């Protein structure tokens, strides 16, 4: 049997949970806009860990994964040979680490603010004012994530086409990786 003190404790617990849920919902609504924080870790060329925020997915881009993944098919559809994906994962991750790891960055967030894994979706503004998302596309270390609309999608598609024409990064057609030279068509566009 519960006494009056137990009922008060249960009431306090329920109130605390309700308050926490209200604050959480306010936080998620307030996530659109600009946040500033330090990059603590780079998981790969499209996902970082930011102090006080957690995992952040760079909005609008997709980079190769460390291990074979179901998303590899999107790279293959664009004419990128699967043998290039794992080595380019390492190149992209290292490039992004050198670019922003340990740096204070600004995160520009638009709706929806989070992906299905709960990661914040953001354009990452580096201390020099450039977008890391855009730089990765320019270097050919990522492709445009085509499955959802976002504000800079048309700009990003144009940058990807330029990288493809220049044959850089994933689009390189004559750079040997693992002892093979890979012809990658640069004129066809999905």
Reading the chain (190 residues) residue by residue, the pLDDT tens digits are 666 665 455 545 433 443 343 334 333 334 568 999 999 999 999 999 999 999 999 999 999 999 888 888 899 899 988 888 999 999 999 999 999 999 999 999 999 999 999 999 999 999 999 999 999 999 999 999 999 999 999 999 999 999 999 999 999 874 444 444 444 443 333 3
The pLDDT score that the predictor gives to residue 139 is 97
In this prediction, residue 8 carries a pLDDT of 53
User: pTM for this structure?
Assistant: 0.75
Nearest 5°: CA angle at 118, between 147 and 66?
A: 65
**CA distance linking residue 132 with residue 144, whole number of Å:** 13
CB atoms within 10 A of CB 44: 18
How far is CA 86 from its chain centroid? 17
List the CATH code of the domain at 32-171: 2.40.50.90
CA distance 109 to 142: 20
DSSP SS3 for 104: strand
Closest CA to 93 of 45, 131, 49, 46: 45
What pLDDT score was predicted for residue 68?
81
């Amino acid at each position: 049997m519960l006494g009056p003190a137990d009922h008060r404790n249960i009431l306090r617990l329920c109130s605390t949970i309700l308050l926490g849920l209200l604050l959480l919902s306010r936080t998620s609504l307030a996530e659109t806009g600009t946040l500033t924080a330090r990059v603590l870790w780079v998981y790969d060329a499209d996902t970082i860990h930011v102090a006080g925020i957690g995992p952040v997915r760079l909005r609008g881009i997709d980079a190769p994964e460390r291990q074979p993944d179901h998303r590899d098919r999107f790279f293959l559809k664009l004419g990128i040979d699967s043998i290039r994906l794992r080595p380019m994962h390492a190149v992209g991750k290292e490039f992004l680490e050198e670019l922003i790891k340990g740096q204070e960055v600004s995160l520009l967030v638009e709706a929806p603010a989070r992906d299905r894994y709960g990661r914040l979706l953001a354009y990452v503004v580096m201390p020099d004012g450039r977008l890391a998302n855009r730089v990765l596309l320019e270097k050919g270390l990522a492709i445009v994530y085509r499955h959802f609309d976002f504000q800079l999608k048309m700009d990003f598609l144009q940058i990807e086409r330029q990288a493809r024409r220049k044959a850089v990064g994933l689009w390189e057609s004559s750079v040997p990786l693992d002892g093979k030279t890979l012809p990658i068509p640069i004129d066809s566009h999905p």
